[in-house]
C-alpha cells in the first residue's frame, strides 16, 4: 500500500510538469517556424520582379528552388499549432498566424509574424493577423 501511494504521489507531481514541458516545446517550435517562414517569405519576395510575396505557403515550398521545406505542402498544422497565411491583394504585405489547436493543451499563446519580421505573442489564443499584417496589441518577442 505504501509503495502504491508513493507511486501515485510521484505520478501526480510528474504529469503536470511533463505536460507543461510539452506545451513550452510546442511554443518554442512555433516561434522557430514563424522565423523560418518570415525569412523564406522575404527571400521569395526578393527573387520576384517586381518584388511580391507568395500567394500561399505551398508556392514557396514548391518553387524552384524551394524556399520552404516540402512539409509545408501537407497543410498548416505543426507541433500542436494551426498556421494561417494571408497575403494582401497587391502582394506587398503578408501575415502568418499560429493558433493552438487546443488552447492550454497544445499551446497557451497565439503568435503572428508579418512583413515587418516582428513576431508577436497574444495571450490565451487571442491572436490576430490578416493580409495587411498582425494586430498591434500583441507583445513583440
| CA trace torsion 55, 57, 62, 68 (10° rounding) | 130
Domain boundaries defined on the chain: 2-140
Q: Where residue 22 falls among pLDDT bands split at 50, 70, 90? A: confident
CA distances from 108 to 27, 28, 113, 138 (A): 8, 12, 17, 14
Q: Where residue 121 falls among pLDDT bands split at 50, 70, 90? A: very high
What's residue 1's pLDDT? 80
Q: What are the pLDDT digits (tens) for 38-71? A: 999 999 999 999 999 999 999 999 999 999 998 8
Asked if residues 37 and 53 have their Cβ atoms less than 8 Å apart, the reply is no
Q: Where residue 14 falls among pLDDT bands split at 50, 70, 90? A: low
Buried b (16+ CB within 10 A) or exposed e, 13-38: eeeeeeeeeebeebbebbbebbeebb
Mean pLDDT of the residues in the chain: 88
Strand order in the sheet with 119-123: 77-78, 81-87, 94-100, 109-114, 119-123, 139-140
Q: What are the pLDDT digits (tens) for 75-105? A: 778 889 999 999 999 999 999 999 999 988 8
Query: pLDDT over 90 for what percent of the chain?
Result: 61
Higher confidence at residue 84 or residue 5? 84
Q: What's this model's pTM, rounded to 2 decimal places? A: 0.86
Amino acid at each position: 500500500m505504501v509503495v502504491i501511494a508513493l507511486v501515485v504521489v510521484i505520478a501526480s507531481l510528474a504529469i503536470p510538469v511533463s505536460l507543461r514541458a510539452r506545451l513550452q516545446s510546442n511554443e518554442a517550435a512555433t516561434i522557430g517556424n514563424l522565423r523560418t517562414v518570415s525569412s523564406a517569405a522575404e527571400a521569395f519576395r526578393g527573387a520576384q520582379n517586381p518584388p511580391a510575396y507568395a500567394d500561399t505557403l505551398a508556392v514557396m515550398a514548391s518553387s524552384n528552388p524551394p524556399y520552404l521545406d516540402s512539409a509545408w505542402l501537407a497543410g498548416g498544422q505543426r507541433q500542436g499549432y494551426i498556421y494561417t497565411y494571408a497575403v494582401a491583394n497587391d502582394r506587398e504585405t503578408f501575415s502568418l498566424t499560429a493558433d493552438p489547436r487546443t488552447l492550454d493543451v497544445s499551446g497557451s499563446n497565439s503568435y503572428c509574424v508579418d512583413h515587418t519580421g516582428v513576431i508577436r505573442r497574444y495571450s490565451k489564443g487571442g491572436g490576430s493577423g490578416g493580409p495587411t499584417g498582425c494586430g498591434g496589441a500583441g507583445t513583440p518577442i
